[in-house]
């Protein structure tokens, strides 16, 4: 066969093949799909280390996320209207996402963790996914949502946060029963990349948490434009915080304070800017300390010890991933359960204390008495010596970051977003420190 004949035959064969299936990126968007803006690309120069790389990826995402705020305003307005009509804000998805929204400084006192209850007509369900195959809440899976089980979701509004780049999510989007949902379903693309790198894992977790808080903030603003002020919790650490929380328990509208109308998008954009600033401060000041902490944790595990991860915050205990290489990291849980275990930790182990605002002096003394080592992340300054390694948190008192006119406490906490980048920086540096040197 001549070359021309071969070319003609190949052309005929190709023409007879079926057209390739559309990629998720080119499939037509449904009426309730909100897409994330395209990526900004890698920095021109490679970051100096894993901490810088993780923080750079987080900052890149936060820069792009600003364009999402205006898209989320109508969703927040719908949610605020339902809540003001007497609804409940339910949260589900990843366990860490649910914990981050539940009884939280700067969050709402009318939030409940969802376990599959039938939604009422004014209820709102906010589902946050940190990774493609979330398993903690079967009822909140993308496939249950896509098919719109009316007996469970009722007439409530459902807001689903996940990356539409994840193939496990993208494959389910064409099956959404939009007519059955009647405009009450909002599938929000968080823009997290595909992959299992520290940067990708960080973005998956950070993106859902940050956009969740943007929605909270825009709900507050939407309520003010209706002449209403949604109640929020204070931090337990600020003066009279417990008394404030008792005063708003069981309320939707604050019984005393009235906030003047706030323009759409202002709170959401400001929140993202503050999170960016705090992560950038961490990236500028803490890489050396993070690498020292990682060297010490890797050395502990190399000698047969265990690293116990203890959490003062809400998001990491059930939301964070331990890299598969770190087989001697124990995810202990919340710090309020630690006292009963603290005196029994073997001297060769290390406590990774993912703290909050104040430096835990009592826990640090206890570690020295048992002979165990400690890596402590907290906003307040603390010592670094032969047994203790301190890493500064770089968020602000009292975690909440948004001032509202005429309202005496700030709203929206940043620590869950900022500490997500810190966790994956610590994990990535510990993996790197555990690799044999060449």
DSSP string, 224-288: HTTT--B--PPPTTSTTHHHHHHHHTT-SB-SS--PPP--TTHHHHHHHHHHHHHHHHHHHHSHH
Residue 103 lies in a domain: yes
Residue 254 lies in a domain: yes
What is the tens place of the pLDDT at every residue in 273-320?
Answer: 999 999 999 999 999 999 999 999 999 999 999 999 999 999 999 999
Where does residue 16 rank: exposed (0-12), middle (13-18), buried (19+ CB within 10 A)?
Answer: exposed
Q: Residue 86 sits in a domain of what CATH number?
A: 3.40.50.10490
The count of other CB atoms within 10 Å of the CB of residue 170 is: 20
* Residue 62 reports pLDDT greater than 50: yes
Query: If pLDDT is split at 50, 70 and 90, which confidence band does 343 have?
Result: confident
265, 294: one domain: no
Domain of 85? 29-42+49-279
Query: If pLDDT is split at 50, 70 and 90, which confidence band does 8 have?
Result: very low
253, 310: one domain: no
Nearest to 300 by CA among 337, 327, 338: 327
Structure tokens at 99: 């914990």
Residue 12 lies in a domain: no
Nearest to 135 by CA among 168, 90, 165: 168
Residue 169 lies in a domain: yes
Structure tokens at 158: 């459902």
Query: If pLDDT is split at 50, 70 and 90, which confidence band does 150 have?
Result: low
Instruction: Report DSSP state, residue 42.
Output: -
**Which of 248, 279, 310 is the endpoint of a domain?**
279
201, 306: one domain: no
CB 61 within 8 A of CB 203: yes
Query: If pLDDT is split at 50, 70 and 90, which confidence band does 26 have?
Result: very low
252, 131: one domain: yes
359-368 mean pLDDT = 93
160, 253: one domain: yes
Q: At 400, is the secondary structure helix, strand, or coil?
A: strand
pLDDT computed for residue 372 by the predictor: 95
CB 90 within 8 A of CB 126: yes
CB 51 within 8 A of CB 59: no
292, 244: one domain: no
Question: Tokens 């939009």 correspond to what residue?
Answer: 178
300, 342: one domain: yes
**Which of 279, 312, 337 is the endpoint of a domain?**
279
171, 271: one domain: yes
pLDDT computed for residue 44 by the predictor: 57
pLDDT computed for residue 45 by the predictor: 64
The DSSP H or E segment spanning 88 is: none
The mean pLDDT value of the chain amounts to 91
* Residue 3 reports pLDDT greater than 80: no
pLDDT computed for residue 10 by the predictor: 36
Helix axes 50-65, 287-302, angle to 10 degrees: 130
pLDDT computed for residue 269 by the predictor: 98
**Which of 264, 279, 294 is the endpoint of a domain?**
279
Share of the chain above pLDDT 90, in %: 82
- Distance separating alpha carbons of residues 205 and 95, to the nearest angstrom: 11
What is the tens place of the pLDDT at every residue in 159-196?
Answer: 999 999 999 999 999 999 898 898 999 999 999 999 99
Give me the sheet containing 307-311, strands edge to edge. 329-334, 307-311, 350-354, 373-378, 388-392
What is the Rg, in whole angstroms, of the alpha carbon atoms belonging to the chain?
A: 24
Poorest-pLDDT segment among 9-18, 196-205, 407-416: 9-18
The distance from CA 356 to its chain's CA centroid, rounded to whole angstroms, is 16
If one counts the domains in the chain, the total is 2
315, 204: one domain: no
104, 187: one domain: yes
188 vs 342 pLDDT, higher one: 188
- Distance separating alpha carbons of residues 34 and 12, to the nearest angstrom: 40
77-102 mean pLDDT = 97
Residue 19 lies in a domain: no
169, 297: one domain: no
Residue 421 lies in a domain: yes
The count of other CB atoms within 10 Å of the CB of residue 257 is: 13
24-36 mean pLDDT = 70
Q: What is the pTM of this model?
A: 0.92
- For residue 184, which phi and psi values (nearest 5 degrees)? -95, 5
- Distance separating alpha carbons of residues 371 and 365, to the nearest angstrom: 10
Poorest-pLDDT segment among 44-53, 131-140, 204-213, 288-297: 44-53
Residue 9 lies in a domain: no
pLDDT computed for residue 46 by the predictor: 66
Residue 14 lies in a domain: no
* Residue 20 reports pLDDT greater than 50: no
- Distance separating alpha carbons of residues 371 and 407, to the nearest angstrom: 47
* Residue 128 reports pLDDT greater than 60: yes
260-269 mean pLDDT = 98
328, 347: one domain: yes
- Distance separating alpha carbons of residues 188 and 7, to the nearest angstrom: 46
pLDDT computed for residue 22 by the predictor: 36
Q: Which residues contact 387 (CB under 8 A, 6 or more apart)?
A: 367, 368, 372, 373, 374
* Residue 12 reports pLDDT greater than 50: no
């Amino acid at each position: 066969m001549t070359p021309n004949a071969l070319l003609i035959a190949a052309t005929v064969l190709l023409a007879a093949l079926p057209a390739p299936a559309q990629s998720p990126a080119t499939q037509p968007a449904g009426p309730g799909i909100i897409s994330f803006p395209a990526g900004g690309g890698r920095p021109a120069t490679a970051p100096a280390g894993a901490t810088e790389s993780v923080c750079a990826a987080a900052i890149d995402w936060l820069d792009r996320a600003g364009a999402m705020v205006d898209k989320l305003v109508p969703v927040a307005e719908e949610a605020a209207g339902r809540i003001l009509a007497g609804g409940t804000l339910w949260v589900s998805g990843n366990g860490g996402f649910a914990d981050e929204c539940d009884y939280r400084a700067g969050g709402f006192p009318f939030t409940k963790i969802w376990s599959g209850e039938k939604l009422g007509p004014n209820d709102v369900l906010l589902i946050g996914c940190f990774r493609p195959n979330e398993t903690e809440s079967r009822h909140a899976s993308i496939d249950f949502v896509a098919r719109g089980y009316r007996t469970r979701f009722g007439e409530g509004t459902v807001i689903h946060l996940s990356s539409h780049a994840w193939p496990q999510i993208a494959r389910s989007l064409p099956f959404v029963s939009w007519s059955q949902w009647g405009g009450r379903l909002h599938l929000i693309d968080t823009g997290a990349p595909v992959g299992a790198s520290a940067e990708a894992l960080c973005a998956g977790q950070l993106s859902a948490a940050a956009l969740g808080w943007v929605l909270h903030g825009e709900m507050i603003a939407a309520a003010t434009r209706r002449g209403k002020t949604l109640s929020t919790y204070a931090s337990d650490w600020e003066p009279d915080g417990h008394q404030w929380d008792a005063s708003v328990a069981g309320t939707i509208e604050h019984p005393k304070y009235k906030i003047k109308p706030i323009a759409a998008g202002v709170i959401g954009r400001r929140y993202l800017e503050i999170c960016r600033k705090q992560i950038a401060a961490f990236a500028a000041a803490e890489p050396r300390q993070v690498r020292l902490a990682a060297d010490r944790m890797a050395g502990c595990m190399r000698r047969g010890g265990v690293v116990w991860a203890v959490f003062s915050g809400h998001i990491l205990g059930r939301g964070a991933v331990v890299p598969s290489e770190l087989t001697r990291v124990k995810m202990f849980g919340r710090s309020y359960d630690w006292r009963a275990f603290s005196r029994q930790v073997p001297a060769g182990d290390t406590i990774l204390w993912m703290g909050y605002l104040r430096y835990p002096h009592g826990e640090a003394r206890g570690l020295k008495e048992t002979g165990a080592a400690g890596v402590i992340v907290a906003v307040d300054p603390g010592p670094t010596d032969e047994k203790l390694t301190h890493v500064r948190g770089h968020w602000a008192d009292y975690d909440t970051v948004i001032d509202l006119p005429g309202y005496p406490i700030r709203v929206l906490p940043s620590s869950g977003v900022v500490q997500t980048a810190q966790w994956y920086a610590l994990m990535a540096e510990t993996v790197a420190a555990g690799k044999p040197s060449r």
